[in-house]
Amino acid sequence: MNEVEHLIPPLTQLTEDEQMLKDAASDFAQSSIAPLVHKMDHEAKLDPGLVKEFFEMGLMGIEIPEQYGGASGTFMMSIVAIEQISRVDASAGVFMDVQNTLVNNAFVNFASDFLREKYLPQLASSKVGAYCLSEAGSGSDAFALKCSAKEEGDHFVLNGAKLWITNANEADIFLVFANVNQELGYKGITAFVVERGFEGFSVSKKEDKLGIRASSTCEILLEDCKVPKENILGEYGKGYKVAIETLNEGRIGIGAQMVGIAQGAFDSALDYIKQRKQFGKALSEFQGMQFQLSRMATDIETARLLVYNAARLKEAGQPFLKEAAMAKFYSSEVAESVASQAIDMYGGNGYVKEYPVEKYYRDAKIGKIYEGTTNMQLSTIAKLLLR
């Protein structure tokens, strides 16, 4: 046997199915999303036709089993698709990211057969999902939530408000975390499936954001919202388990989004410095620019390897919490740094909306904040190193 055959394949080496989805997602992003990016960013709204195309492409139910109308794909397939979409538009990337890595995964891993059969076919074909955990007083302290759930007959009555809910404007199916017994603390937290049409449920204020502007981020109001008992997702009082496990996977998705942003900014800058001339030659011919470009490319590849490594560990059923935290932390740092340097390479042109890099910079900032801030990731990493 050849010695080369013993070598471990690189993490970036994809299976045939992963490569096919990567190529399909890349083509879709360039042909359908790219022409709409500026308009959607300006109007702060995803194009409704684009939402429909996401479902037609099968990008909203990648890991949902075939028996429920999904693609029966892998977690890694979701990750490479998120990266390719985010390379063109981070708003579109997080739209499919939340659906796949948070909402769908929660249903697949924790829902009863009844809930799977009822909601997964909808999530695979036409209905957008949203994940409702954060509140005004519970950000990094996620389990300090005050949203309550009171049992009354054959249903629960939910009261409270949720903030920063991604996909809220487009969603019809909401995974809402509420506490059935405040005295029990986090052990009272329970996950509920709430439909947009349920009595007492409404989508309220839409945030006017710095970046990922086309992604809807809204407040959710629950005012005596009636939810059937059978719509508990997971176990009664075990919503914290659903939240922890889905967010651990979701952070890898955010890592993929950040890698996509960094790569998109890098690609734009590379094309620009090859064409832009100063002092009689292209900017790309200056050694200082080449060194900067090399560092950017190395940082992006490092972030990608961290994200892919975490995804592979998750798929293999191995511990991946530390690696997911590292991937999320580092990729968000790289996205912001690379996007900033891309603006520098464009000079004055990089500071105006006519060119794409200022948007990459605005979009990158959220990476250090949502689905666990940078400090929370560092805290997680340290705890696991010291265990």
Domain presence at residue 1: no
- Domain check: are 63 and 122 in the same one? yes
The verdict on 245 and 269 lying in the same domain is yes
Rounded-to-integer distance, Cα 79 and Cα 368, Å: 18
The last residue of one of the domains, among 210, 237, 264, is 237
Judgement on whether residues 309 and 249 belong to the same structural domain of the protein: yes
Distance CA 151, CA 228 (A): 10
Identify the domain boundary among 128, 143, 167. Answer: 128
Give the CATH number for residue 290: 1.20.140.10
pTM over 0.85: yes
Residue 152 lies in a domain: yes
Tell me, yes or no, whether 158 lies in a domain: yes
Residue (of 134, 377, 96, 383) closest to 248 by Cα position: 377
The pLDDT of residue 245 is 95
pLDDT tens by residue, the chain, 387 residues:
455 545 667 888 999 999 999 999 999 999 999 999 999 999 999 999 999 999 999 999 999 999 999 999 999 999 999 999 999 999 999 999 999 999 999 999 999 999 999 999 999 999 999 999 999 998 888 888 999 999 999 999 999 999 999 999 999 999 999 999 999 999 999 999 999 999 999 999 999 999 999 999 999 999 999 999 999 999 999 999 999 999 999 999 999 999 999 999 999 999 999 999 999 999 999 999 999 999 999 999 999 999 999 999 999 999 999 999 999 999 999 999 999 999 999 999 999 999 999 999 999 999 999 999 999 999 999 999 999
Q: How many domains does the chain have?
A: 3
Is residue 36 classed as helix, strand or coil in its secondary structure? helix
Residue 136 maps to which CATH number?
A: 2.40.110.10
- Residue 88 and residue 34 in contact, taking contact as beta carbons nearer than 8 Å: yes
DSSP 32: I
Q: CB atoms < 10 A from the CB of 65, how many? A: 15
Instruction: List, as one string, the DSSP characters of 374-385.
Output: HHHHHHHHHHHH
Cα 271 to Cα 121: distance, rounded to the nearest angstrom:
42
Residues 90 and 188 in one domain: no
Catalytic residue chosen out of the listed positions 63, 83, 249, 371: 371
pLDDT of the residue at 139 = 84
Is 273 found in the same domain as 374? yes
CA pair distance 379, 142, nearest whole angstrom: 15
Is the separation of the CB atoms in 284 and 290 below 8 Å? yes
Last residue of a domain, one of 128, 163, 183: 128
Run of H or E residues at 240: helix 239-275
Q: Is residue 3 part of a domain?
A: no
- Give the orientation angle of helix 48-56 with respect to helix 90-97, to 10 degrees: 50
What pLDDT does residue 228 have?
98
Domain membership of residue 296 as a residue range: 241-386
Residues 225 and 97 in one domain: no
Q: Give residues with Cβ within 8 angstroms of 13, minimum separation 6.
A: none
Our answer to whether residue 53 is catalytic in this structure is no
**13 in the same domain as 48:** yes
Task: Tell me the one-letter amino acid at 175.
Answer: L
- Domain with residue 93: its CATH number is 1.10.540.10
Are residue 215 and residue 290 in the same domain, yes or no?
A: no
Distance in angstroms (rounded) separating the CA atoms of residues 128 and 60: 8
Domain membership of residue 2 (yes or no) is no
* Together in a domain, 379 and 266: yes
Given a contact cutoff of 8 angstroms between Cβ atoms, the answer to whether 370 and 334 are in contact is no
Q: Are strands 189-195 and 277-278 parallel, antiparallel or unpaired?
A: unpaired
Do the domain assignments include residue 47? yes
Nearest-angstrom CA–CA distance, 197 and 221: 13
Looking at the structure, do residues 261 and 228 belong to the same domain, yes or no? no
Residue type, position 77, single letter: M
Query: Do residues 248 and 377 both lie within one domain?
Result: yes
Q: CA-to-CA distance for 37 and 35, rounded, in angstroms?
A: 6
371: left (phi over 0), alpha (psi -120 to 50) or beta: left
Same-domain pairing of 75 and 173: no
**Per the domain annotation, does 104 fall within a domain?**
yes
> Does residue 218 lie in a domain region?
yes
